[in-house]
Structure 1
């Protein structure tokens, strides 16, 4: 058993420093008063004069004492202003400094809850991937090689990212997504969330408006709303964004879409709607943010080509991420920018955080250049396909025949619809499931319009499966089936699907 070791006591010099500072704070040593000489204080305390001198020098550096060669140290004339921080007893102190309009909007904005510190035993959390799927050996070899590579000096790199990684991404996009671009158009960012934030800050002002999928990715919607721009929710159907309902509002400056695999419902935007969306953007002089968050994982067919690949006018900002294929903890993604936006996005990235971590960028570049990354994607795609099939099979066996799993033709999640449960009961059933060790996530927060949480649709939950084994998926859905059966037995009348 490990033995408990109490924290080490403060050093003698620190105790002397704390004693003198406390005496200055409470007035024992008044402003302008002469401090004890270092020799006398050292004798009184039985310590070396060097220790006392070091404490005096620290107090002088912080402005509590005034010292000069050949003169006795004195207490500064106005020590009270910096004497001791005072705890606010809870409302009695001075008002907090005013926030900016952006800060005030954030305070009043509901964000999705952070994942629990302790995940559910069987957690269908979307966005999580299995640690065992990470290519640890290949990553370690590439990382160590880069770590040992000689550099003349360690310095900042350009904000757009490491040249080797941008070149590797360029080739990968041409092969995997049918997207041809120059390396100059690529900006490496800290995951797609930073890409969304940069788009919001640079392309929207308070009073503008933006078109957004309904339902859609909540964190993206909140980023755009934080600018003060107005939401124009556009309904989604089985084929993705309903472009016939795009707003004709002259204030709309931007549309955010997930055309290759709509989040969360899973539709793929057909070519007719893609062309309609591009024409709408050209007509309104608006930007399109194309979030291709999991485009590598399409089952049974090759991945859908990017919307940007058919954009003739330079209106589409393509966004990709390595969070789903490698790890969300890596925090690496990229934007492919229209040429007109390259300079300002680079400046904004430089202002935000200089650049993404260099070692990780170069390691990833090596994986892509050697083909290891694409081999990894193919392998994990097969694993995810097994998990997806296990989820569909378990739902068919353990839940009602009217249960429907939607949106699984691609990606790493599906939406479970239960038409015999009311949408307003989604949070409560999720809590009941978590109490039994199963994490499921209501779809209602992804709708901007609260009325869409009513009886016009069934209750739904987003189920991510990328971090689970086939056995865990089977066990989790079996437990969920028992919970749902008990819930229905004591629930109000079923809600017919609208």
Structure 2
């Protein structure tokens, strides 16, 4: 709106006209956007309705808005079609004065790109199928939460809803053998806020932190923004190569032991004890990101680090982004008891608390068993999708593809032996031209790490499957095979094989 607060000086029709015209040109109201009624705008600005009507009539006469009797004025589509819309200019970033934190963040900005639309198959990891969301169960839980909250609308505990933390305590014990007190659980706005809290509270500028290589980029961004320095440790088929920690001094280690992201290794029990022993010697914290442990297909679960002896300095991180939806932004930390007051204070300082209605709804689903029934159902569906992807890749590529990380989780990594790193950009472009979204694993390697030199002889793709149905997966792999053939035709592959 032009002005949401009543001015002491009354605006004239010309001022209203000029302001509305600028807002229309800057797309404040959008294409076909509705403006306030003359009566509503006059009340907000403290002017007569006639004054507003004069401004509206002038805008209509010049073709900026359409006016119909009994309806609110609407931005004229012709304004956009004539290309008259302009964007608001932005100040140059060179004039900004930033904190050290801001300067570090600016040097290594996380990148958000809008998912491409219109693809026949998008293998982007992290997306879930809308058909899997338990709409009816969530609606019932939200209604129950609203009914419970109707008597009290107030700020809540920064650590989170006591109901939810109590329900999570039981769920973690049943599903992951994580035993903890309710007071140790902190509800956060998704796993990323959990990582940010750990970074701010456990690292200083100049400290060193261990990262799996390749590993989760957004964790590295969160830790590096503090001024701490990453120590990349390579991973193999069993996850982090913990023997390489023997000479490493660091304040913190970030690991994904249940399903290494992205290569998919499951850290063996021996390496888990080795990691905890290193952390005890180094007086370091271990951040255990258990991001998709609900999805296990061909392997038995290994106890999380938090459930093992000597885990007193482990911070356990979980989320519902892979089971319900990333849009809910609900995650949780299980922190050492001595850190609980500090994490609670930091959470309160950052945003007071995670939205309470959604917390109460999740608590209702956990208490009723609806959440675990939902997890079992989507586990079966994703097992079918995962098998469809494995079958399709083998069907279209045979032994020309090597697959890592297929025993658990919602993605695999496919290595294409016909393609070298020089083909990577061409493959992404060729696949996109055929309606298939693919994403190279190379972006997840640390440029300074040993793993990059060892693993990037072939093109590797992180292929998520949780948002696709079986037919899309089959079609996507067929089109991907065509894209590979466009880059390296079969006759050239045969020549290369003959040389070998």
TM-score band by shorter chain is 0.7 to 0.9
Per the alignment, residue 251 of structure 2 pairs with 253
Conserved? CA contact 2:11–2:47, under 8 Å: no
- The question of 1:460 aligning with 2:460 is answered yes
Q: Is the 8 A contact 2:426 2:487 kept in 1?
A: no
Question: Contact 1:420–1:494 (CA<8 Å) still a contact in 2?
Answer: no
Number of the residue aligned with 1:333 = 331
State which of 12, 16, 41 in structure 2 corresponds to 1:15.
Answer: 12
**Separation in structure 1 between the aligned mates of residue 481 and residue 11 of structure 2, nearest angstrom:** 62
Alignment map for 1:80-99 (pairs within 5 Å):
96-99=95-98
Q: CA deviation at 1:422?
A: 1.1
Deviations 1:135-160 (A, max 9, x none): 00011011112212354331010100
- Counting only pairs closer than 5 Å after superposition, residues 357-368 of structure 1 correspond to structure 2 as 357-368=355-366
Q: Is the 8 A contact 1:112 1:219 kept in 2?
A: no
Separation in structure 1 between the aligned mates of residue 316 and residue 244 of structure 2, nearest angstrom: 23
1:267/1:119 CA distance change after superposition, 3 Å: farther
Which structure shows the higher helix fraction? Answer: 2
Higher mean alpha-carbon deviation, 452-461 vs 211-220, is at 452-461
| Equivalent residue, structure 1, for 2:206 | 207
**Alpha-carbon distance between aligned partners in 1 of 2:295 and 2:421, rounded to the nearest angstrom:** 29
Distance 1:9 1:304 in 2: 59
| Contact kept in structure 2, 1:421 and 1:494, CA below 8 Å | no
Q: Is the 8 A contact 1:142 1:366 kept in 2?
A: yes
| Cα deviation 1:430-461 (Å, max 9, x = unaligned) | 12111211011000010002675557532100
Is contact 1:422-1:494 (8 Å) kept?
no
How far residue 486 of structure 1 moved from its aligned partner, in angstroms, is 1.8
| Partner residue, 1:427 | 425
Aligned to 1:403: 401
CA contact (8 A) 2:165 2:182 kept: yes
Q: 1:468 to 1:283 in 2, by over 3 A?
A: same
How far, CA to CA, are the matches of 1:195 and 1:275 in structure 2? 24
What does residue 316 of structure 1 align with? 314
Deviation at 1:112, TM superposition (A): 3.9
Structure 1 position 341, deviation (Å): 1.0
Contact 2:446 2:452 in 1 (8 A): no
Counterpart in the other structure of 2:444? 446
Counterpart contact for 2:246–2:278, Cα < 8 Å: no
Tell whether the 8 Å contact from 2:187 to 2:332 is kept in structure 1 after alignment.
yes
Residue 269 of structure 2 contacts residue 302 of structure 2 at CA under 8 Å; is this kept in 1?
A: no
Do 1:112 and 1:218's aligned partners in 2 also have CA atoms closer than 8 Å? Answer: no
TM-score normalised by the chain length of structure 1: 0.80
Distance of aligned partners of 1:101 and 1:376 in 2 relative to their CA distance in 1, 3 Å threshold: same
The match for 1:342 is 340
Task: Give how far 1:163 is off.
Answer: 0.4
Contact 1:191–1:323 (CA under 8 A) maintained in structure 2: yes
Q: Which residue in 2 is equivalent to 1:137?
A: 136
* Equivalent runs, 1:83-482 vs 2, <5 Å: 96-116=95-115, 118=117, 120-149=119-148, 151-246=150-245, 248-250=247-249, 252-449=250-447, 453=452, 457-482=457-482
Change (3 A) 1:117 1:401: closer
Alpha carbons of structure 1 residues 388 and 193: separation in structure 2 relative to 1, 3 Å: same
* SS of equivalent residue, structure 1 residue 255: strand
In structure 1, stretches of 5+ residues that fail to align are: 1-6, 23-49, 56-86
User: Which deviates further from its counterpart, 483-492 or 129-138?
Assistant: 483-492
Deviates more, 1:459-468 or 1:306-315: 306-315
* C-alpha spacing 1:204/1:123, structure 2 compared with 1 (3 Å): same
Residue 90 of structure 1 deviates from its aligned partner by 7.3
Residue 170 to residue 19, structure 1, CA distance change in 2 (3 Å): closer
Structure 1 residues 303 and 375: CA distance shift in structure 2, 3 A: farther
Counterpart CA distance in 1 for 2:469 and 2:394 is: 18
For residues 243-295 of structure 1, what are the alpha-carbon distances to aligned partners after superposition, in whole Å with 9 as ceiling and x for unaligned? Answer: 00016344x10000000000000100001100000000000000000000000
Deviation at 1:9, TM superposition (A): 13
Cα deviation, residue 477, structure 1: 0.2
Cα drift, residue 400 of structure 1: 4.1
Q: Distance in 1 between matches of 2:214 and 2:367?
A: 37
Q: Measure, in 1, the Cα distance between the counterparts of 2:126 and 2:395.
A: 26
* Per-residue deviation, residues 167-190 of structure 1 (Å, max 9, x unmatched): 010000000001110000000001
CA distance in 2 between partners of 1:469 and 1:177 (Å): 29
Judge which range, 220-229 or 279-288, deviates more.
220-229
Shift of 1:162: 0.3
Conserved? CA contact 1:296–1:303, under 8 Å: no
Residues 305 and 311 in structure 2, CA contact (< 8 A), matched pair in contact too: no
Change over 3 Å in CA distance of 1:88–1:480 after alignment to 2: closer
Q: Which runs of 5 or more residues in structure 2 are unaligned?
A: 20-45, 52-87
